[in-house]
């Protein structure tokens, strides 16, 4: 049995407004040891690293990882606000022109392609 269709269905149920299907990401934790010659040695990669903070340094490092991740993903409060405004406008337009969701997404295809190119470049 293929798991992918179920995963895609669950994803779409939880992220219905992600038109480009690129909202998922994963942060990996790399444990590295640096020797006396400043040569790094990879010890292990953690699929689900802990973000618990036990010291000020721990807090600073992990906070920076999360902020950098959001930056790489192009996420911000302003972008979220713009996306919500766009969704509201799209909903109003669909109602005004009585266009189905599937037809509306075909109409918006060029915008989605443009967004994918922009993300690819970023």
27, 69 contact by CB (below 8 A): yes
- More confident: 42 or 13: 42
Q: How far apart are the first and last CA of the chain?
A: 36
Which runs of E-coded beta strand occur in 1-122? 29-34, 40-46
> Which stretch, 3-12, 59-68, 91-100, has highest mean pLDDT?
59-68
pLDDT digits (tens, 9 = 90+) for 91-119: 777 777 776 666 666 666 666 667 667 76
pTM equals 0.47
């Amino acid at each position: 049995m293929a798991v992918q269709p179920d995963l895609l269905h669950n994803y779409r149920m939880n992220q219905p407004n992600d038109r480009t299907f690129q909202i998922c990401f994963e942060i990996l934790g790399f444990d590295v040891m640096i020797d006396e010659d400043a040569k790094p040695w990879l010890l292990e990669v953690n699929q689900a690293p802990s973000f618990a903070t036990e010291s000020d340094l721990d807090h600073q490092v992990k906070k920076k990882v999360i902020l950098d991740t959001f930056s790489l993903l192009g996420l911000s409060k302003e972008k979220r606000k713009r996306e919500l405004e766009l969704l509201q406008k799209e909903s109003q337009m669909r109602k005004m022109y009585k266009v189905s969701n599937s037809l509306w997404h075909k109409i918006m295809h060029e915008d989605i392609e443009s967004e994918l190119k922009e993300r690819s470049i970023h």
